[in-house]
Protein backbone atom coordinates (compact mmCIF):
# COMPACT_ATOMS: atom_id res chain seq x y z
CA UNK A 1 0.00 0.00 0.00
CA UNK A 2 1.36 3.40 -0.94
CA UNK A 3 1.12 6.23 1.54
CA UNK A 4 1.90 9.92 2.03
CA UNK A 5 3.09 9.57 5.62
CA UNK A 6 6.66 10.66 4.91
CA UNK A 7 5.50 13.76 3.02
CA UNK A 8 3.06 14.77 5.75
CA UNK A 9 5.68 14.16 8.43
CA UNK A 10 8.26 16.24 6.53
CA UNK A 11 5.81 19.13 6.12
CA UNK A 12 5.75 19.38 9.91
CA UNK A 13 9.52 18.86 10.33
CA UNK A 14 8.90 15.78 12.50
CA UNK A 15 11.38 12.95 12.77
CA UNK A 16 10.20 9.37 12.51
CA UNK A 17 10.71 9.11 16.27
CA UNK A 18 8.52 12.15 16.94
CA UNK A 19 5.73 10.79 14.75
CA UNK A 20 6.07 7.39 16.39
CA UNK A 21 5.63 9.01 19.82
CA UNK A 22 2.51 10.84 18.66
CA UNK A 23 1.01 7.63 17.23
CA UNK A 24 2.23 5.48 20.13
CA UNK A 25 4.19 3.07 17.95
CA UNK A 26 7.89 2.38 17.44
CA UNK A 27 10.10 4.34 15.08
CA UNK A 28 10.68 1.07 13.24
CA UNK A 29 6.94 0.81 12.60
CA UNK A 30 6.88 4.29 11.06
CA UNK A 31 9.92 3.42 8.94
CA UNK A 32 8.28 0.22 7.69
CA UNK A 33 5.00 1.99 6.87
CA UNK A 34 6.79 4.78 4.99
CA UNK A 35 8.74 2.23 2.94
CA UNK A 36 5.57 0.27 2.14
CA UNK A 37 6.80 -2.82 3.97
CA UNK A 38 4.02 -2.73 6.56
CA UNK A 39 0.35 -1.79 6.31
CA UNK A 40 -1.01 -0.07 9.41
CA UNK A 41 -3.93 -1.46 11.36
CA UNK A 42 -7.23 0.32 10.93
CA UNK A 43 -7.02 1.93 14.39
CA UNK A 44 -3.52 3.22 13.58
CA UNK A 45 -4.69 4.56 10.22
CA UNK A 46 -7.55 6.42 11.95
CA UNK A 47 -5.11 7.82 14.52
CA UNK A 48 -2.80 9.08 11.77
CA UNK A 49 -5.73 10.62 9.89
CA UNK A 50 -6.83 12.50 13.00
CA UNK A 51 -3.28 13.64 13.73
CA UNK A 52 -2.81 15.06 10.23
CA UNK A 53 -6.43 16.24 9.92
CA UNK A 54 -6.89 14.21 6.74
CA UNK A 55 -9.10 11.36 5.58
CA UNK A 56 -7.53 7.90 5.72
CA UNK A 57 -7.72 7.62 1.95
CA UNK A 58 -5.79 10.91 1.63
CA UNK A 59 -2.86 9.30 3.48
CA UNK A 60 -3.03 5.62 2.54
CA UNK A 61 -3.57 4.66 -1.09
CA UNK A 62 -4.64 1.15 -1.95
CA UNK A 63 -3.12 -0.03 -5.21
8 Å CB contact between 45 and 59: yes
Domain architecture of the chain: domains with CATH: 2-58 (1.10.260.40)
**Interval 30-59 mean pLDDT:** 97
8 Å CB contact between 19 and 9: yes
Within 10 A of 40 (CB to CB), how many other CB atoms are there? 22
Length, in residues, of the chain: 63
pLDDT confidence of residue 1: 87
Q: In whole angstroms, give the CA distance from residue 24 to residue 19.
A: 8
What's 39's DSSP letter?
A: P
For residue range 17-27, what is the model confidence (pLDDT) as tens digits? 999 999 999 99
By percentage, how much of the chain surpasses pLDDT 90? 95
For residue range 39-53, what is the model confidence (pLDDT) as tens digits? 999 999 999 999 999
pTM above 0.85, yes or no: yes
Q: In whole angstroms, give the CA distance from residue 1 to residue 24.
A: 21
Amino acid sequence: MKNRLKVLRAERDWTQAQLADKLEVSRQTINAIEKGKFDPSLPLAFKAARLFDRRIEDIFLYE
